[in-house]
Amino acid sequence: MSAAPQRGLPGTRPEGVRDETEAAAHVREMFGRIAPRYDLLNHLLSLDIDKLWRRRVARRFSALLHDPNARVLDLCCGTGDLAFAFRREAPQGAEITGSDFVAEMLVRARAKAAAARADVKFVEADALNLPFADGSFDLVSCAFGIRNLANYERGLREILRVLKPGGAAGILEFAEPPGKMFGAVYRFYFRRILPILGAMISGNASAYTYLPNSVSAFPSPEELKLQFERAGFVEVQFERWTGGIVTLHTGAKSRSKSA
């Protein structure tokens, strides 16, 4: 029987790993293995709702995306779907870059960009040690990625570092729905049904056990808001979507040097 996930950890700790280095290696290897079936499973297991969530994030940042001088970074981009949602929102707008530390994900992202003639650049990079100068981006986004970082605080500080003063962050992540009835039904699906379907289709049972475990262990939206503020973000807010299955966290980098 697997140990209960423990909230309040500094970052993700898949079962059996001892420290941050092992956690990052485990996550990298896991996503490398599920990359070939990642899109199919995402859409199937969420009944395509994941597409609506990404479109909604893009609409939220529509004004910025329409600015051809703006620079946008989508962290932990996987096969690129949030970056593509940004591009569709503003075909001639901002310069959009996706980054991820799993090459197998980026191969697929680049193939999708070529097939759709989508102007999005993809870069292999660790979100905890980004190869970008301070103050490079107007918007940094991350969909379903931050929960997988081996150190959440370092991830948030790295986002803040690469943002321009006044720049915005938009972080979409799973959460545990607060409603009693809906929460119970959802937990049954998420903890009992999804791991079975995920294992059958991906051929990787541990990745789809890791998913609900990592959501349970991840800070609640209220806790994550505090972590954003502690990292130095201003105007921090969150909103729950789809009954609280996912949360969009937003924050900004202060324009003043003293903040």
Ligand X SMILES: C[S@@+](CC[C@H](N)C(=O)[O-])C[C@H]1O[C@@H](n2cnc3c(N)ncnc32)[C@H](O)[C@@H]1O
Closest separation between CB of residue 193 and ligand X, Å? 18
> Interface with ligand X includes 246 (CB under 6 A)?
no
CB 246 within 8 A of CB 173: yes
Closest separation between CB of residue 234 and ligand X, Å? 25
Q: 107 is written with which tokens?
A: 């191969």
Range in contact with ligand X (rule: CB under 6 A) among 86-94, 95-103, 158-166, 200-208? 95-103
> Interface with ligand X includes 81 (CB under 6 A)?
yes
> Interface with ligand X includes 70 (CB under 6 A)?
no
Q: How many residues bind ligand X (CB under 6 A)?
A: 21
Which of 96/127 has CB closer to ligand X?
127
The pair phi, psi for residue 48, each rounded to 5°, is: 75, 0
> Interface with ligand X includes 76 (CB under 6 A)?
yes
**x/- track of binding to ligand X for residues 127-166 (CB under 6 A):** xx--------------xxx--xx-----------------
Q: How many Cβ atoms sit within 10 Å of the Cβ of residue 75?
A: 28
DSSP structural state of residue 15: T
Question: Smallest Cα–Cα separation from 172: which of 147, 208, 207, 139?
Answer: 147
Residue with tokens 């994900």, as numbered in its chain: 105
Strand 163-174 to 137-143 pairing: parallel
Which of 42/204 has CB closer to ligand X?
42
Which of 92/129 has CB closer to ligand X?
129
Site for ligand X in 192-211 (CB under 6 A): none
Which of 77/139 has CB closer to ligand X?
77
Rounded to whole angstroms, the Cα distance separating 127 from 119 reads: 22
Residue 21, CB-side half-sphere exposure with 13 Å CA sphere: 0
How far CA 203 is from CA of 28, 67, 198, 208, in Å, comes to 17, 42, 8, 10
Which of 55/164 has CB closer to ligand X?
55
Give the footprint of ligand X on this chain (CB under 6 A). Answer: 24, 27, 31, 42, 76-78, 81-82, 100-102, 105, 126-128, 143-145, 148-149
